[in-house]
Structure 1
Amino acid sequence: MATKRIADEPAYVLHRYDWSESSLILEVFTRHYGRIALVAKGAKKPSSSFRPILLPLQPLHVAFGGDAEIRTLRSAEWQGGHVMPTGDALLSGYYLNELLMTLLARDDPHAELFDIYARVVEIIASEHGEVLQGALRTFELLLLRETGFLPPLNVQTMTLRALDVNDHYVLVPEGGLRQAHAEDRVSLSGAQWLRLHETLQNHAPFTTTLRACAEMMGELKPQLRALLHYHCGVKTLRTRQMMIDIQAL
């Protein structure tokens, strides 16, 4: 059987592991093939052309081949556009990568999500702090939708009753969207949930959802965080704990 070869594939490195004294195993997010594993032979050698290229949050075009679970990286070319983010922006990028590593199955393509990830990475690298939090919330919503973990935001999940625009509702990990109780610390009005639902149905959901998220950031963030932690199977994601620890210094 002929070995399948793929060339000129848009990609980002999500994570990298040592494989031997000279090689790396890469977790890579590609546009047409989803999350895949690649071995970069000799990538740790000082003379390797891979060394300055195989970095996270950098737009690449890669070529790879093989039929095994871990394929072989043949080439990688940096597509330019921005330098490596630093500080809080870099941690935000690592946070996105951790979400993709945890929630995406291998070899499951998500071309639209790839394009949205690329846009958020551009925002992270451009240091537009005023829109970064909205971009992160937008990515979380679209990732949850793509993976099937986001319930419809236009009805109450358990009863399928329509939302009252004047009432308040909360998104809970175990039960989806339900009517808010007195003890709930954060919630959104029915009108706000309906607006988010409408923006997610848009043919260009990133821009419209970003605008909507910017107006309800404080109430939306903890609800999305709880839902993500639930489906990731952790109490706190590693990158988020790192942010907390740094802020406490």
Structure 2
Amino acid sequence: MSEPLQPAYVLHSRPYRDTSALVDLLSLRDGLQRVVWRGARGKGRGTRPQPFVPLLVSWYGRGELKTLQQAEVAGSHARLQGDALFSGLYLNELLVRLLSPGDAQTLLFAAYQQALEQLAAPFDSVEPVLRSFEWQLLQLLGYGFSLTEDAWQQPLLAHGSYAWSADQGLYSVPAGNNGALPGAGLLAMASADWQQPDALPTAKRLMRQALAVHLGGKPLVSRQLFAAARGAGQS
């Protein structure tokens, strides 16, 4: 039984058999879906599986692996380049690694769309976009925690120092503790005040810790590619 057309984005694609591809889609109504995209690598004029391009898609099948029935481009899009491109690939890899197939994620779909729009616009840094999306992702998947209160429901203090654990969330540690997160940075992150000097460094360290719990030991390929590209540009 085929499904009606719905908005979707390609998160990842890899060759399958002669001219097909196995494609991970983020769809509006059905979340993460894996489909066989026939003719994806052929010479025809049909729509190809390209990341960051808004699509309307439908598929059929009953198991975890569906077969794409129809795909068409749903509108214009800006081409991501440089840091924005690597950042988009990072977001895609996070979604493939963390989402459970078939779980509807309409709010996450909207957050992803917004992140792509922000990456496509002129910017000084990709960091605010990445940190905001990571935090939304954790919250929408049920892994969020308070950024304004500690594990004992006490308000975070701007002059305080904190650490994070998966079972407690944020808790107070002595000033000068190695690796401590500054309260001012955490409170700025909570209000998305990325102009505050401690906000982005604090958010990056905290999100690395929180995401690592759910990603397991396997490194993110997109993060390695980003680091390699940065290194090549500085050499």
Tell me if TM exceeds 0.5: yes
Question: Among 168, 172, 185, which residue is 1:179 paired with?
Answer: 172
Decide whether the 8 Å contact of 1:229 with 1:236 is kept in 2. Answer: no
Shift of 1:131: 5.4
SS at match of 1:153: coil
Counterpart for residue 223 of structure 1: 206
List per-residue Cα deviations over 1:185-223 (Å, max 9, x = no partner): 35232x6545655x5xxxxxxxxx4xx244311222122
What is the CA–CA distance in structure 2 between the aligned matches of 1:92 and 1:40, rounded to whole Å? 25
Kindly indicate whether residue 138 of structure 2 is the aligned counterpart of residue 141 of structure 1.
Answer: no
Counterpart for residue 76 of structure 1: 71
Shift of 1:143: 0.3
The change in CA–CA distance for 1:214 and 1:65 in structure 2 (over 3 A counts) is farther
SS at match of 2:3: strand
Decide whether the 8 Å contact of 1:27 with 1:36 is kept in 2. Answer: yes
Residue type at the aligned position of 1:178: Y
Kindly indicate whether residue 7 of structure 2 is the aligned counterpart of residue 14 of structure 1.
Answer: no
Counterpart for residue 96 of structure 2: 101
- Seq. identity, %: 29
What is the CA–CA distance in structure 1 between the aligned matches of 2:194 and 2:58, rounded to whole Å? 37
The change in CA–CA distance for 1:132 and 1:120 in structure 2 (over 3 A counts) is same
SS at match of 1:183: coil
Residue type at the aligned position of 1:177: L
The change in CA–CA distance for 1:225 and 1:214 in structure 2 (over 3 A counts) is farther
The change in CA–CA distance for 1:142 and 1:125 in structure 2 (over 3 A counts) is same
Matches within 5 A, 1:1-249: 3=1, 5-51=2-48, 54-126=49-121, 128-130=122-124, 132-157=126-151, 159-173=152-166, 175-181=168-174, 182-189=176-183, 193-194=186-187, 196-197=189-190, 199=191, 209=192, 212-215=193-196, 216-234=199-217, 236-249=219-232
Please, which moves more after superposition, 163-172 or 92-101?
A: 163-172
Counterpart for residue 204 of structure 1: none
What is the CA–CA distance in structure 2 between the aligned matches of 1:77 and 1:64, rounded to whole Å? 12
The change in CA–CA distance for 1:124 and 1:195 in structure 2 (over 3 A counts) is closer
SS at match of 1:221: helix
SS at match of 2:22: strand
Counterpart for residue 206 of structure 1: none
Decide whether the 8 Å contact of 1:60 with 1:76 is kept in 2. Answer: yes
The change in CA–CA distance for 1:244 and 1:186 in structure 2 (over 3 A counts) is farther
The answer for unaligned runs of 5 or more in structure 1 is 200-208
List per-residue Cα deviations over 1:16-44 (Å, max 9, x = no partner): 12121111111000111100111111221
Counterpart for residue 202 of structure 1: none
Decide whether the 8 Å contact of 2:24 with 2:35 is kept in 1. Answer: yes
What is the CA–CA distance in structure 2 between the aligned matches of 1:214 and 1:72, rounded to whole Å? 46
The answer for unaligned runs of 5 or more in structure 2 is none
What is the CA–CA distance in structure 1 between the aligned matches of 2:157 and 2:79, rounded to whole Å? 45
Decide whether the 8 Å contact of 1:13 with 1:26 is kept in 2. Answer: yes
What is the CA–CA distance in structure 1 between the aligned matches of 2:172 and 2:147, rounded to whole Å? 12
What is the CA–CA distance in structure 2 between the aligned matches of 1:195 and 1:47, rounded to whole Å? 51
Q: How many residues align?
A: 229
Decide whether the 8 Å contact of 1:134 with 1:214 is kept in 2. Answer: no
What is the CA–CA distance in structure 1 between the aligned matches of 2:17 and 2:47, rounded to whole Å? 15
CA RMSD of aligned residues (A): 2.2
